[in-house]
Amino acid sequence: MQLADLQNRVRIALTTTIVNEWSLLSLAGGTSRPSERAVAFHLGWHLRPMVEESWDIDCEYNRSGMHLEESVRLVDDEGRRIPDLIVHHRGKLGPEHNLLLLELATDRADVDVDVAAAGDFGRARALQARFGYQFAAVLDLRIGAAGAEQPVTPHWQWAEHDGGPVDVGDVYEPDVLAEIIGRAEKSLPR
The tens digit of pLDDT for each residue in 55-91 reads 999 987 655 544 444 444 455 444 545 578 999 998 8
Across the chain, the runs of DSSP E, i.e. the strands, are 56-58, 85-88, 98-105, 135-140, 155-160, 164-170
Distance CA 15, CA 172 (A): 10
Ranges of residues in the chain with a pLDDT under 50 are 65-73, 76-78, 80, 111, 113, 115
Residue type, 168: V
pLDDT score for 27: 67
Integer CA distances (angstroms), 95 to 4, 42, 70, 73, 101, in order: 17, 25, 22, 19, 11
Provide the mean pLDDT of the chain.
83
The tens digit of pLDDT for each residue in 147-160 reads 788 889 999 999 99
Flag whether the pTM goes above 0.75. Answer: yes
Domain that holds residue 122: 3-187
Parallel, antiparallel or unpaired: strands 98-105 and 155-160? unpaired
The number of folded domains in the chain is: 1
Distance CA 131, CA 142 (A): 28
Domain containing residue 38: CATH number: 3.90.1570
- Give the burial string for 164-184 (b: 16+ CB within 10 Å, else e): eeeeeeebbeeeebeebbeeb
